[in-house]
Amino acid sequence: MIMKEQVKEKTILEKLEDVPREVLYGLLLLAFIIPMLNPIGFPVPTSDAVKKWYSTIDALPKGSVIMVDFGYSGGGEPELGPMAVAVYHHIFRKGGLKVIAMSTSIDGPLLWDKAMAEVKPEQYGAKYGVDYLHIGYIAGGETAMAAVGKDLRATTSTDYKGSSLDQYTVMKGIKDAASFNLLIVYTTGGDQSEGWVRQWYTPYRIPYLCAVLAMMVPTMLPYQKAGQIVSLVSGAQSGEMEFLVKVPARGIKSADVITVTHLLVIAFVVLGNIAYFGKKAKGGG
Amino acid sequence: MAADLATVMQIWFAALFTVWIYSIAFRDNVFFKFAEHTFVGAAAGHSLVYGIDNVKRYGWTPFTQGASLYAVVFLLGVLLYTRYHKSYFWISRYPLSIMVGLGIGLSMRATVKAEFIDQIISTAGLKVLGVDAWTGFSNLLFIAIVLAVVYYFVFTFPGIHGGRLGVISKFARYGMMAAFGYSFANTVLSRFNMIFGRLDFLMTEWLPLPGAMIAMPIVLILMVYAMIPAENRPWPKPT
Amino acid sequence: MLVEGRMFALGMLIALWVLIIGSMEMSKRKLPTFRKLSGLEALPEMVGRAVEMRRPVHFTTGLGELTGTVAPQLVAGLAVLGYVSELSAKYGARLIYSVYQSQVMPLAEQIMREAYIKEGKIEQFDPEYQIRYLSGEQFAYASAVQGLAERERPAANIMIGPFYAESMLFAETFYRIGSIQLAGTARGYQIPFFAVVCDYLLIAEEIYAAGAYLSKDPVQIGSIRGQDVGKMIALVLMFVGVLALALGSSDLINLLKR
Amino acid sequence: MSLIIRRQIPIVIVFVTAVLVMTDYFLKIPGTGPVVRDLQNWGVILTAFTLGYGAVNLFYLHTRHISRRTPGQWPFSIWLLLMIVVFTVVGVTYGATSKQYSWMYNSSYFALSATVYSSLGFYMTSGVYRTLRPKSVESTLLVITGVIALMRNAPALAVSAPILISMDSWISSIPTTSAQRGIMIGAALGAIALGIRTMIGKETGFLGRLTEAEKGA
């Protein structure tokens, strides 16, 4: 009797360890879809990094100029897009700030259009060319950052649509990195997020706010600790920013799904280990 | 109306490509292959378009405004393509060497400060005494891990890793493993956010469109069919 | 002329220049010895086990090009490939190298051929079977490696080079079929996946050290020697800085900031 | 002679350019500023030229597939090349930020790239299920920090158990930051050494293919 039971249990554990991946993927899909169909409205915590990011922008005096690197690729849009949108809401609502954007990513200009369509700057009375502008994608990575930092107007004389920069009042008095009071970077590339430290913070000491994919945060942490980055956040924290800015959108919406899927993953870790150690105990003992 | 139709078509294309790419997680199939080739072609086309845009805006515009030196840059740019020539490929090394030299200069002059000296300053500036016990302990641990990890990567002085000193390397690996666990969890978070983005698109933009609810099962059935190995399919017969 | 706040950096850069070039010159006369790299030490056992189980050994150098920024990682991977080829020739293991970059194929063939000649087993070298060009596109390459793993069921899997998103896929697939794995990459984002799954790990800079150690190239080894001295300078500065600060002096930190 | 033109001079250009860029930063010698400024702008344009490499490579590869009628591949190759042509024609005639181009981008490339990278989430899930095992002290540490961070990353869990937030922030600010800093210091030295080797011509990967004379040497 006892023998039989043991044999039966062993096969269950074995089966448990060898669950086909299709089953795992199917469960994951369900964990995504169910909370999307039945939103629960889980709360979102706000972390210090996001609060610091928010207050850094809030503390900018009127007339400050911000450089924004709209540098994420299409792959990172679901994560960084909501963050960029929420921050633009904040900047435009505060008013009196000039925002110049450029892109170190080839997807930047089109994704910027997408983000602006979501923000609708006109609702805050902000005008293209007067309050904000996009100078376009600039090839070359760190070379582009250094070039713009040294002499923006020598690098480009047009905006992303090819219109002359001279006609825009927002460009008045803007020459090089020293004309800027703050640098905001959204990027999916490690070379970019690190490159801005090397090419803008190190030579010009421009305060730097950095938003990257959650997976890139660990490698960027030493810069924050050394004060080279004022505040480092991940796109996954968009919900927190939306909460602070009070414009709920995709970020907060994802909180339910992220909670449920993470619970599933934790359950997977536990189950997988039960199977592994159970099998080992039976096999070894 | 025309604009609406364009948007609807855009959503349909995007939705189909999304579903087809996900199918690879289950099994390789012809729809995935089609989507993948679209991706590779579109990526190459997209970067070519922006390359041309950049050459035009940052090179051609100043050239037409009288910066005649840019003619040299255009020549160098064209020479980059000699790399495809059987015997003159070495000419492309000239423009490349400018780019490489720039890259090295820009990176070296800043790396020594940003990633070396500033990191040393920040570590050396941590207080162990005169702060509360927990902060003191945390800072001490921080300093210990930084030192141990740098020590771990010293390769050509085997003496310093021998005997009891081996414990330092072990400690360094423990520190790094703890860091890797944290990175791992963050990657899961990133990828899930991306999946959410795509599924959210499918559910809020595609499925509400007329016909999408009917089309979805058809798309899925066709895809599953395509996953069956060709020899087991009733139709079409493999040639 | 000198710029305030950049002087120490300039001095450090010059010091490193002298150090690195100096140690390259010194290595030409006498190669420095290396510390134990636990990942490399495991290789003979991994290959031996594959022979016992009569299953192949699989090797990949990941993605990247010989001309790009990740080229040094690829070169390090190829140096390890040479060593694994020697071991495979010696023990009689079937080694399969999955190639992503067609430009690497002739180089890899030369490296492997030399290893088999060195062991006197050139008749066992079968480039058709052993060097497989799978695809030059990331995901196609990844699924081809997966397919190969499931068909051939290698007993050992070695991955050294620049790896991208496919790292987890490879590590999991080979884990499932029961391969012992050694992995190493200097691409920071991918190290955690290898750390989670693989039995032996070369972390970041360790792959360059492994490559230099195996290739016995004085330039590479000398460069690593110079970097080692640089690391020791960093260690001393941090250690002294912390002590000095505890004793109430921030002179060193102020000097570094100059 | 040919070795000098084909190999030595490019290396000298690398050396001179790099030294110039560094001098401008460290020494501020009058006159270097504008030269470096122009060089950087040239760098931007030259990089823009290289953005066509991908398309040329694909043309080489896939025209071969098409002319050889590689089974199961050549129809896809035609489609791939067609995509390159369509993107380029639309992007150049209407402009890279035009409505038409943006429509094409959003219906194909954007959706595809976003999906390709997200699909890795699936693989990670099965990876987590099968491989996150505390087998040794090292892997136990990894599993512990990993699971704590996973729990913290679930927003609702973090709100209901705030201790997770403080544990997570300690893990991130102490062991993770310090280990990453150790790796960073080593990698910085590696990057500087690579730069030096390239400047003195000991690292010639950027030269690409080797000429016959170089292969001999």
Smallest Cβ–Cβ distance between A215 and the set B118, B186, B198 belongs to B186
| Span C196-242, pLDDT tens digits | 889 999 999 999 999 999 999 999 999 999 999 999 999 999 999 99
Q: What is the mean pLDDT of chain C?
A: 92
Q: Let me know if residue A43 belongs to a domain.
A: no
Q: How confident is the model at residue B67 (pLDDT cuts 50, 70, 90)?
A: confident
Share of chain A above pLDDT 90, in %: 82
**Quick one: A117 and A231 in the same domain?**
yes
Which positions in chain D touch A259 (Cβ < 8 Å)? 154-157
Residue C145 has pLDDT above 80, yes or no: yes
| Span D2-54, pLDDT tens digits | 888 888 999 999 999 999 999 999 998 888 999 999 999 999 999 999 999 88
**Quick one: A117 and A31 in the same domain?**
no
Chains in contact with D, where contact means 3 or more Cβ–Cβ distances below 8 Å, are A, B, C
Of the ranges A213-217, B137-141, C134-138, which one carries the lowest mean pLDDT score? C134-138
Question: What pLDDT, on the 0 to 100 scale, is given for residue D1?
Answer: 64
- Are residues C224 and B155, on separate chains, in Cβ contact within 8 Å? yes
Residue D61 has pLDDT above 70, yes or no: yes
Question: What pLDDT, on the 0 to 100 scale, is given for residue C138?
Answer: 78
CA-nearest residue of chain D to C17?
A: D196
Residue B1 has pLDDT above 60, yes or no: no
**Quick one: A103 and A243 in the same domain?**
yes
Question: What pLDDT, on the 0 to 100 scale, is given for residue A2?
Answer: 46
**Quick one: A17 and A82 in the same domain?**
no
**Quick one: A158 and A32 in the same domain?**
no
A-interface mutation test, from D41, D116, D151, most A Cβ less than 10 A away? D41
Q: What distance in Å separates the CA atoms of residue A176 and residue A204, rounded to the nearest whole number?
A: 10
Share of chain B above pLDDT 70, in %: 97
Which positions in chain B touch C19 (Cβ < 8 Å)? none
Question: What pLDDT, on the 0 to 100 scale, is given for residue D119?
Answer: 83
**Quick one: A237 and A136 in the same domain?**
yes
Residue C67 has pLDDT above 80, yes or no: no
Top pLDDT among C111 and B223 is at C111
Say whether domain C38-215 belongs to CATH 3.40.50.12780: no
Question: What pLDDT, on the 0 to 100 scale, is given for residue A140?
Answer: 92
Q: How confident is the model at residue A3 (pLDDT cuts 50, 70, 90)?
A: very low
Smallest Cβ–Cβ distance between A79 and the set B183, B194, B199 belongs to B194
Range of the domain at A87: 48-248
Question: What pLDDT, on the 0 to 100 scale, is given for residue D64?
Answer: 92
| Span C76-111, pLDDT tens digits | 999 999 999 999 999 999 999 999 988 888 889 999
Question: What pLDDT, on the 0 to 100 scale, is given for residue A8?
Answer: 54
**Quick one: A29 and A93 in the same domain?**
no
Q: Let me know if residue A66 belongs to a domain.
A: yes
| CATH (domain of A65) | 3.40.50
| Span A231-284, pLDDT tens digits | 999 999 999 999 999 999 999 999 999 999 999 999 999 999 998 888 888 765
C-interface mutation test, from D15, D115, D123, D125, most C Cβ less than 10 A away? D123
- Are residues B41 and D82, on separate chains, in Cβ contact within 8 Å? yes
Q: How far is A181 from chain C (nearest CA, A)?
A: 20
- Are residues B161 and C36, on separate chains, in Cβ contact within 8 Å? yes
Q: How confident is the model at residue B154 (pLDDT cuts 50, 70, 90)?
A: very high
A219 vs D: CB within 8 A: yes
Q: How confident is the model at residue B239 (pLDDT cuts 50, 70, 90)?
A: low
**Quick one: A130 and A189 in the same domain?**
yes
Residue A225 has pLDDT above 50, yes or no: yes
Could you count the other beta carbons within 10 Å of the beta carbon of residue A78? 29
Q: What distance in Å separates the CA atoms of residue B98 and residue D39, rounded to the nearest whole number?
A: 8
Q: How confident is the model at residue B234 (pLDDT cuts 50, 70, 90)?
A: confident
Which positions in chain C touch A216 (Cβ < 8 Å)? 189
> How many independent structural domains does chain A possess?
2
Q: How far is B239 from chain D (nearest CA, A)?
A: 11
- Are residues B193 and A214, on separate chains, in Cβ contact within 8 Å? yes
Smallest Cβ–Cβ distance between D83 and the set B24, B45, B58 belongs to B45
Q: How confident is the model at residue A1 (pLDDT cuts 50, 70, 90)?
A: very low
* Region A36-63 average pLDDT: 92
A164 vs C: CB within 8 A: no
Question: What pLDDT, on the 0 to 100 scale, is given for residue B3?
Answer: 52
Of the ranges B4-8, C38-42, C128-132, D127-131, which one carries the lowest mean pLDDT score? D127-131
Q: How far is B51 from chain C (nearest CA, A)?
A: 19
- Are residues B41 and D43, on separate chains, in Cβ contact within 8 Å? no
Q: What distance in Å separates the CA atoms of residue C171 and residue C163, rounded to the nearest whole number?
A: 11
Residue C7 has pLDDT above 90, yes or no: yes
Residue C152 has pLDDT above 60, yes or no: yes
CA-nearest residue of chain C to A19?
A: C176
| Span B170-181, pLDDT tens digits | 999 999 999 999
Question: What pLDDT, on the 0 to 100 scale, is given for residue A10?
Answer: 57
Chains in contact with A, where contact means 3 or more Cβ–Cβ distances below 8 Å, are B, C, D
| Span A165-197, pLDDT tens digits | 999 999 999 999 999 999 999 999 989 999 999
Q: How far is C46 from chain D (nearest CA, A)?
A: 19
pTM for the predicted model, two decimal places:
0.93
Q: Nearest 5°: CA angle at D131, between D129 and D136?
A: 135
Q: How confident is the model at residue D72 (pLDDT cuts 50, 70, 90)?
A: confident
Q: What distance in Å separates the CA atoms of residue A34 and residue A24, rounded to the nearest whole number?
A: 16
**Alpha helices (runs of H) in chain B, residue ranges in sequence order:** 2-22, 30-54, 61-64, 70-79, 93-111, 118-124, 133-152, 166-201, 212-227
Residue B203 has pLDDT above 70, yes or no: yes
CA-nearest residue of chain A to B185?
A: A215
Question: What pLDDT, on the 0 to 100 scale, is given for residue B2?
Answer: 45
Smallest Cβ–Cβ distance between A45 and the set D132, D165, D173 belongs to D165
| Span D98-120, pLDDT tens digits | 999 999 999 999 999 899 888 88
Residue B238 has pLDDT above 60, yes or no: no
| Span A98-146, pLDDT tens digits | 999 999 999 999 999 999 999 999 999 999 999 999 999 999 999 999 9
Q: How far is D15 from chain A (nearest CA, A)?
A: 17
**Beta pairing, strands A182-187 & C156-160:** unpaired
Q: What distance in Å separates the CA atoms of residue D124 and residue B203, rounded to the nearest whole number?
A: 23
C188 vs A: CB within 8 A: yes
**Quick one: A217 and A271 in the same domain?**
no
SS3 assignment for chain A: CHHHHHHHHHHHHHHHHCCCHHHHHHHHHHHHHHHHHCCCCCCCCCCHHHHHHHHHHHCCCCCCEEEEEEECCHHHHHHHHHHHHHHHHHHHHHCCCEEEEEECCCCHHHHHHHHHHHHCHHHHCCCECCCEEEEEECCCCHHHHHHHHHHHHHHCCECCCCCEHHHCHHHCCCCCHHHCCEEEEEECCHHHHHHHHHHHHHHHCCCEEEEECHHHHHHHHHHHHCCCCCEEEEHHHHHHHHHHHCCCCHHHHHHHHHHHHHHHHHHHHHHHHHHHHHHHHHHHC
Q: Let me know if residue A268 belongs to a domain.
A: yes
Q: What distance in Å separates the CA atoms of residue B108 and residue B98, rounded to the nearest whole number?
A: 15
B76 vs C: CB within 8 A: no
Q: Which two tokens stand for residue C177?
A: 């079929």
B-interface mutation test, from C4, C134, C143, C231, most B Cβ less than 10 A away? C231
ipTM metric: 0.93
Question: What pLDDT, on the 0 to 100 scale, is given for residue A285?
Answer: 42
Question: What pLDDT, on the 0 to 100 scale, is given for residue C101?
Answer: 85
CA-nearest residue of chain D to B202?
A: D111
Question: What pLDDT, on the 0 to 100 scale, is given for residue A75?
Answer: 86
Burial class (CB in 10 A: 0-12, 13-18, 19+), A203: buried
